[in-house]
Amino acid sequence: MVSILQAVDLIVAQSKNFGCQAVSIDDSLNRVLAEDVCVDRDYPPFNRSAMDGYAVVSSDFNIGQAVKLQLTEKLLAGGFSKSKVVSGTCIKIMTGAPVPAGADAVVRLEDTVENNNIVEFVVTTVKVKQNIALQAEDAKSSDLIISKNSILDARAIPVLAVLGKAKVKVFNQPKVAVVSTGNEIVSVESAILPHQIRDSNSYSIKNFLKKYAINDVTAIHIADDKQRLITEIEKLLDNDILILSGGVSKGDADYVPEVLMSLGVKQIFHRVQIKPGAPLWFGVMPNGGVVFGLPGNPVSVQVAVKVFIEPFIRACFGMETIKPLLLSIFTDKKKKTKLDEYFPCKIVIKNNVTGIVSNRMNGSGDIAATLGSDGIALHPSSMDMIHENMILEFYPW
Ligand code: AMP
Ligand code: MG
């Protein structure tokens, strides 16, 4: 039996680079960048008006009285002016348009009255550069803006678009298969008998993988039949990641570890000091791919995916490890085992403090234990009791 830290180290030691490819920006959501992205030109690319107003020469102002200027031109965003703003004149300018040469400030429309091409300014003080977003003040040409190994989320993709990156280099996805095992397990579409259970683990696993855009996953079910397990799992040994649920504990029909080893999968460890999910099995296939044998209970599967499979995927993509949030717990909690225990929690605000409360959980087989939760918190092995307002490590889903 290994500790959680040892298990994660052993798992991450098997991580590998899956190579990379160029994809369209439209297909890049949740993919991981395989290149540094640099700024193609200054942003803003020119001194840009930040207001609808008038481009002026600031030295015409600050003379202790209202100012009237001759309007010479009107400028919309998308246009530009070839003329210069000289003392005594102004150009009407809309937000987003380049501030014309000669002008060093923009006075907003609300502070003006325009009549017959004469603009009267109701303000007397105008600061140099006021209401102008200066060229390169957001980002400078050729600066690094999104680092390799970042995930392309809904904040990063618009930046790619701004930079004109219609195609982007991302890491290839691993080939993944998900196997549910168990004589009692039937698919969601099947008719069900009283002693049967519908497969939910495949949905926990497949949907978690989508967080990293691993969308094309082979998913099959195999009964607790040694020969069938051998035949079916053998066909999956070309995967990069094989995730099984069920059949790794001490029961009479828990054949998964011996079947895997009979197929040449090398066991790295079996059993971890964690609850739920202690019977976790981990090994390496002859092709170098990895096998996670997760215990079948639904909460064990979700915790194992978060604690063990996610670090592996992130390591393959060169991503940083996830650091926990440190949050107060607003409830007491008892623990009977000497294991590290993860339990599903909701984030709440109490007396203006953000913290967590434990979800109602009736053991690791509870189908709804994680429903509505925001993540899992760690009840460390060293503490029998957690008391209200203690600070815990919390890992958002
Ligand atoms: P096992 O690890 O095979 O002993 O299974 C432990 C528990 O998890 C049993 O109560 C199973 O019925 C349940 N279980 C196993 N596989 C699944 C699955 N794919 N979906 C939902 N529950 C499962
Ligand atoms: Mg089983």
pLDDT-derived band at 124, boundaries 50, 70, 90: confident
pLDDT-derived band at 329, boundaries 50, 70, 90: very high
pLDDT at position 310 = 98
Residue 349, pLDDT above cutoff 90: yes
pLDDT tens figures, 87-96: 999 999 999 9
Q: Measured in angstroms, how far is the CA atom of residue 102 from the centroid of ligand 1? A: 74
Q: Which residue, 121, 123, 125, is CA-closest to 71?
A: 121
What CATH homologous superfamily does 4-18+173-316 map to?
A: MoaB/Mog-like domain (3.40.980.10)
Residue 2, pLDDT above cutoff 90: yes
Q: Kindly give, in sequence order, each residue whose CB lies less than 8 Å from that of residue 312, ignoring residues fewer than 6 positions away.
A: 11, 12, 14, 15, 241, 290
Bond before 295 cis per omega within 30 degrees? no
The ligand 1 atom at the shortest distance from the C-alpha of residue 297 is 8
3-state secondary structure of 136: coil
**Mutation test residue for ligand 1: of 178, 181, 185, the one with most atoms within 8 Å of CB:** 185
pLDDT at position 208 = 98
pLDDT tens figures, 22-77: 999 999 999 999 999 999 999 999 999 999 999 999 999 999 888 999 999 999 99
Is there a contact between 307 and 300 (Cβ–Cβ < 8 Å)? no
Report domain extents, the chain: 4-18+173-316, 20-43+138-171, 48-133, 325-396
Q: For ligand 1, is residue 257 a contact (CB within 6 Å)?
A: no
Q: Which amino acid is at 332?
A: D
Q: Which residue, 4, 1, 10, 2, is CA-closest to 312?
A: 10
Cα 217 from Cα 177, distance rounded (Å) = 6
pLDDT at position 102 = 98
pLDDT tens figures, 137-189: 999 999 999 999 999 999 999 999 999 999 999 999 999 999 999 999 999 99
Bond before 344 cis per omega within 30 degrees? no
Cα 322 from Cα 307, distance rounded (Å) = 10
Q: For ligand 1, is residue 365 a contact (CB within 6 Å)?
A: yes
What CATH homologous superfamily does 20-43+138-171 map to?
A: Molybdopterin biosynthesis moea protein, domain 2 (3.90.105.10)
pLDDT at position 52 = 98
pLDDT at position 183 = 98
Q: Measured in angstroms, how far is the CA atom of residue 303 from the centroid of ligand 2? A: 18
Is there a contact between 273 and 381 (Cβ–Cβ < 8 Å)? yes
Is there a contact between 356 and 376 (Cβ–Cβ < 8 Å)? no
Task: Say if residue 129 is exposed, middle or buried (CB neighbours under 10 Å; 0-12, 13-18, 19+).
Answer: middle
CATH topology for 48-133?
Molybdopterin biosynthesis moeA protein; domain 3 (2.170.190)
Cα 219 from Cα 110, distance rounded (Å) = 62
pLDDT-derived band at 359, boundaries 50, 70, 90: very high
Residue 248, pLDDT above cutoff 90: yes
> What single-letter DSSP state applies at residue 65?
S
Cα 182 from Cα 223, distance rounded (Å) = 5
CATH topology for 325-396?
Beta-clip (2.40.340)
- Copy the structure tokens of residue 117: 């091409």
3-state secondary structure of 356: strand
20-43+138-171 has the same fold as 4-18+173-316: no
